[in-house]
Amino acid sequence: MNNPFREIDYINRKIERGKELGFDEVYKDSLTDSDRVLEDERIALNYRFLGLCVILMFTLLAGRVIYLQTIRGEEYRSMAEGNKLRIQYLFAPRGLILDRFGKIIASNVPSFELIAIPAYLPKEEPRLTEIITKISKITARPYEELSAQINKAGKTELQPITILQNLPKEQALVLISASSDFPGFEVQDSPIRDYKDPLVFAHLTGYTGKISQDELAARQNKDYLFNDFIGKTGLEVFYEDFLRGSHGQKQTEMDATGKIKDEFHIVPSTPGSNIKTSIDYDLQKVIYDNLISVMGRGRAKRAAAVATNPKTGEVLSLISLPSFDSNLFARGISAAEYQSLASDPNNPLLNRVLSGTYPPGSTVKPMLAQAALTEGTITPETKILDDGVIRIGNFTFYGYDRNGLGLMDVYSAIARSSDIFFYTLGGGNPKNKIQGLGPDKVAEWFRKFHLGKALGIDLPSEKDGLVPDPDWKQQERNEQWYLGDTYHFSIGQGDLLATPLQVNSWTATIASGGKIMRPIVVSEASDQSGKILLKKEPEVLSENFLDPKWLKVVQDGMRQTITAGSAQSLNTLPMEISGKTGTAQFDAKNMSRTHAWFTSYAPSADPQIALTILVESGGEGSSVAVPVAKGVYDWWFKNRLQK
C-alpha cells in the first residue's frame, strides 16, 4: 500500500497549483474517489493534531496550578498575605542599671538601623544590585558588606534582618525620605544601651549585642526576634530576664512592592525592669582613678579591685583592668575593633576579679594563724625565731628577708609577714620543736574559708580557684607531695590559686567576726510602676567555725600591719584600718616577678568596707597596692564613713 501521507501531500500540491492558476475547482472536480478519501483523511489528521496540542496545553496548565496550590501553596499564601498586612515589632527599651543611690550606670538611647525584609527585595539581580549600590553610597559602607548581610537569609524570608546598626541621623533621614526607591529596605528606630563611664563599669555591667543564631535557638519559646538584642556578659546576661522588656507590635498595610500604605493596631512596647545594685558609683570611680594613677607610675598593665560590705556581702565596687568601651558592643562593634580586643595580650575582656586566679601570697597568713591557734599548734605567746632560713636535711628554705626578722610572735608575724613563722605553722620546724599543721590540715582550713569553690556571686564566669593537697598532686601529676610543697602552700604560693573576690571574702570574714557572706551585686529589681519584683537579703554561707578568742588575735595582728608592719603608710589616715600585704611570685624562671596584693578592712572596730587590691606583675604589695588603698580610704573617710 502506498504511503497515505505522501499521497495527501501530492493532492495538496495539486490543489495549491490549481489555486495559483485560478482553476482550483477544476482540479477538485478532476479528483478521483481515492483522492477525495485522502483529502478527508488529511483534514481529520490536522484536527487530531490540533486537539493533541490543546490537551497538552491544558495538561501543563493544570500541572502548574497543582504545583502552585499544593507544593508551594502555603509559601505563596503567606507572601500574598504579606502583600496586604505585615506585623512590625517595636523594640522595648531595656531596664535601667542603677547604683545603690539611684544613680544611672546604664540606660538607653535611640539608634537608627537599616533592615531588610528579603521577601520584599527585588527578584531581578540588576535591580537589587542597583539599590544596594545606592545605599552603599549614602551610608559610605562597602557594597560587599551590605550584600553579605542580605545573603544571610533566604530571598523569601519575611523575618527582618539587620543590615547596618547605629546609622548617623543624616544618613537615616536620607534613606527614609527616599524609601520608595529602596523596596524591601526600612530604617528602624531601636533603643540601644548607653553605658555611663563604660571603661569604669565595663566588667560589672557587661554589654549587650545582637542575638546569635545559637542564642535564638536556645530561646525559641521566649519571643526573641531575629535581630533582637540580648545580654552577653556581666549583669546584662545574668539579669537578662529582668532587664529585657516586651516588644510592641503594629500592623502595616503594604503593597506587593513592599511600600507602606497604612499603619494601624499599635501595641506599645513595655520597657524592662530596672535593677538596683549595691555598687557605689562614686567609689567605683575613685578606685578606678587610683589604680590607673599607680599603674601609670610603673610598668603594670593589669589589675583588679573589689570592695564589699563585710556585714552584708554587698559588693560596693568591682574593677578589672585593662578595661574596654562597652558601648562599642552596644552600638555594633566592627570585626577590626573586636579582633583588637581579642588579640590584646593583656586580655581586657577578662573579668579578673571573678575569673582571674592567682597565687594569693602572704594574704593567706591570717587564715593560717587562725588555724594554728585553733588547732593548738601555737598560742599567742609562742615565739619563733625568724633568722631568714630553715634547713631540713639537704634542703634550704629562705624567707623573703634572708637576714631574718628576729623573734616573732603571731601578731608581729602577721604584721611583718614572716615567711619563716608561717613555714613553721604549716610544715613544722625541728629547730623550734613545732610539728606544724601538715598539708591536709592546712587545706582543710583554707576550704573552711571557702577557697577552692565559687562564692556564688550574681555575675557570670566566677572561677573556683584551687586548694591543692597530697591526693590532688598524686592524681593530677602523679607526683609525691614534699615538705617544700607544704612550706610554699602555707605562705600562699605553689599551686594554691584564688580569685581577688575570694581574697576579699576571707578578709571580710575575719572583719565580720567569722561569717562568710555570699557576695551580692543586685539588691532589687522593680518594674516601671515601681513594683518590687526581686528583693535580695544578705545570705550567710558559713558561720560559727572560728573561735572568737583566736579571731581577736588575728584581727589584732592585721591591725599591727598598719601600725607597725608592712602598710605603715596608712597610719596617717584619720581612721583605723586593718589589713595584710602580699607579694606573690608567679614565674618559676624569674622569681623577681611578683603580683602585688593588699587586702584590708575599715574601720577596724566597726568594719564597713573590705577592700582588696591586686596589681599583676606589680612588685611588692606594700609599695604598689597599699598606695591605691590609701587614696581610696582617704576619700572613703571624708565621704562615706558612717560615724
Q: What is the pLDDT of residues 487-503, one digit of tens each?
A: 999 999 999 999 999 99
CA angle 164, 167, 170 (to 5 degrees): 140
Give the residue from 492, 522, 501 showing the smallest Cα distance to 454.
501
Cis peptide before 322 (omega within 30 of 0): yes
How confident is residue 26, by pLDDT bands cut at 50, 70 and 90?
very low
Mean pLDDT is lowest, of 45-59, 372-386, 469-483, for 45-59
Q: Is the pLDDT of residue 82 over 60?
A: no
Please give the backbone phi and psi of residue 641, each rounded to the nearest 5 degrees, phi first: -60, 125
The type of residue at 469 is D
pLDDT of residue 84: 59
pLDDT of residue 1: 46
d(CA 534, CA 235): 15
d(CA 628, CA 307): 13
pLDDT of residue 32: 59
Tally of CB atoms within 10 A around 334: 10
What is the CATH architecture assignment of 282-335+347-639?
3-Layer(aba) Sandwich (3.40)
Domain ranges of the chain: 4-68, 85-274, 282-335+347-639
Is 3.30.70.360 the CATH number for 85-274?
no
Tally of CB atoms within 10 A around 438: 18
Please give the backbone phi and psi of residue 439, each rounded to the nearest 5 degrees, phi first: -65, -40
pLDDT of residue 85: 67
> Model confidence over 106-157: pLDDT tens digits?
999 988 888 888 877 888 888 888 899 999 999 988 988 888 877 765 555 6
pLDDT of residue 138: 92
Residue that has been written with the C-alpha cell 587545706 in this structure: 443
Query: What is the rounded average pLDDT of the residues 351-369?
Result: 97
The type of residue at 94 is R
**pTM: predicted TM-score of the whole model, two decimal places:** 0.83
Query: What is the rounded average pLDDT of the residues 557-583?
Result: 96
Over the chain, what is the mean pLDDT? Answer: 88
Q: Are 107 and 194 in contact (CB under 8 A)?
A: yes
Mean pLDDT is lowest, of 55-59, 192-196, 575-579, 627-631, for 55-59
Joined grid coordinates for residue 545: 567555725
pLDDT of residue 14: 57
> Model confidence over 390-409: pLDDT tens digits?
999 889 999 999 999 999 99
H/E segment holding residue 535: strand 532-535
Per mean pLDDT, which of 75-79, 210-214, 423-427 is the most reliable? 423-427
3-state secondary structure 118-155: HHHCCCCHHHHHHHHHHHHHHHCCCHHHHHHHHCCCCC
Mean pLDDT is lowest, of 211-225, 359-373, 606-620, for 211-225
How confident is residue 310, by pLDDT bands cut at 50, 70 and 90?
very high
d(CA 486, CA 434): 14
Strand 85-90 relative to strand 97-98: parallel, antiparallel, unpaired?
Answer: unpaired
H/E segment holding residue 551: helix 548-563
pLDDT of residue 27: 47
Q: Is the pLDDT of residue 596 over 50?
A: yes
